Structure 1
Amino acid sequence: MNTKAKPGSVLKNLRLANGWTLSEVSRRTGLPVSTLSKVENDKMSLSYDKLARISRGLEIDIGVLFSTEGPAAPLSLVTGRRSITRAGEGRVIETEPYEHIYPATDLLNKRFVPIVAEIRARSLSEFSELIRHPGEEFTFVLEGTVELHTDLYAPVTLEVGDSIYFDSGMGHVYLSAGPGPCRVLSICSGEESQLIAATRGPEAAAAASDAGESPAPPTVKRADRRRAGRS
């Protein structure tokens, strides 16, 4: 059964449970108080890099932000974990440039984050700034033509079946460069569970300002079979 993603509500509950003020969460994550307030009140959506900032700053698995439960216990050394996401399932975060479908959100303390993304943006002008988050990212084109822009390389065009692996600390955005739908599978190394603690440092406080972010209310909907998988 599909469930709606409500990271803002989870963030608020987590903040109140820990006795944190919005200012304290802002200090930990590097996100402005105004942005956090809008997120908690479901008036602003979050891109992956901002979700990653919150998970690093609060030292939680990014999956916690999609869960109705609190943070899980520390990751044990026992292996054998698995999570199955059926076609049409997954948590969805929708922004103007992208629609992100997050599979396996029931599995916490992941070492990487899988994302199926529908790319809608067609111009750099649709972004207030390039996206960046610590770690590495692998992207495989499922449908359409993708144009990847970064701050260190010339734009590169990727067709169906092409893939790219890059340092996600480098500023980057994906654009749809074809006439039809554009979808990719991205695997991001997240600073979650023990990795979060290992990367804890002043970078959150020095994170780029979000002043140019659009305040448009987010749209949260179910992942359908056409986008989340082929039946």
Structure 2
Amino acid sequence: MQGSVGTKIREARKERNVTLRDLSERTGLSVSQLSKLENGKARLTVDVALMIAGVLHVPVASFLFRPKPGLQARRSITRSGSGVMHEGNAMSFEVLCSDFRDKTNIFWRVTLTAKSFEENGGWRSHSGEEFVHVLSGRLELHTIHYDPAVLNPGDSILFDGEMQHAYVALGGDPVVMLMSNTVPRDGLPAGV
């Protein structure tokens, strides 16, 4: 699909023989709001893009991202156990798929053994957003503004990295999680 976001939405809708009224009824958005989106007179948010993509059965990325000229065929593979390792306070970070230039995320496979807030080194914070998906173990995520959240295997959380946070492994087993951090606009931190 080429063109603006609004054009992409309109094309996807028409390819599936869905009227604006049908899309309105199925998303809960007004016909007027949908028309403004399609005509470029309203900004598309991630939540709205997810609703529309779900109804039209298209990848949400087709609405949210524009391909970069010359970079559409990139890929990066990290074989099991071959990522660059970083060690922290009772945490080990394996950097995954790190060889793209101009990337917007850092991906990690993290193993946490800290059984207490202090063992994890206390509060940490950084720019951007942090996404965590628990693969195994039970994670207790502490944040300065919320009560601790307990995450079990299969649970995920996304939060602002600027908010002070810390991790604790509950029970006797380490926590293994997939983590992604957005890259600050001014580039990657040194050593990543």
TM-score when scaled to structure 1?
Answer: 0.49
User: For the residues of structure 2 that align with 1:97 and 1:151, how far apart are their CA atoms?
Assistant: 20
Residue number in structure 1 paired with 2:74: 81
Residue number in structure 1 paired with 2:94: 101
1:155 equivalenced with 2:148 (yes/no):
yes
| Structural mapping, 1:127-166, within 5 Å | 127-166=120-159
How far residue 124 of structure 1 moved from its aligned partner, in angstroms, is 1.1
Residue number in structure 2 paired with 1:110: 103
Residue number in structure 1 paired with 2:65: none
> Runs in 1 of length 4+ with deviation above 4 angstroms?
none
How far residue 114 of structure 1 moved from its aligned partner, in angstroms, is 0.5
| Structure possessing the higher radius of gyration over alpha carbons | 2
CA RMSD of aligned residues (A): 1.6
Structure with the bigger RCO (C-alpha within 8 Å, sep 6+) is: 1
1:196 equivalenced with 2:175 (yes/no):
no
Deviations 1:87-121 (A, max 9, x none): 12100011232000001122232111101100011
TM-score when scaled to structure 2?
Answer: 0.58
Which of the pair is proportionally richer in strand? 2
Letter in 1 for 2:176: R
Does structure 2 conserve the Cα–Cα contact (< 8 Å) formed by 1:99 and 1:117? yes
Unpaired runs of at least 5, structure 1:
1-75, 198-231
Count of residues in correspondence between the two structures: 119
Residue number in structure 1 paired with 2:112: 119
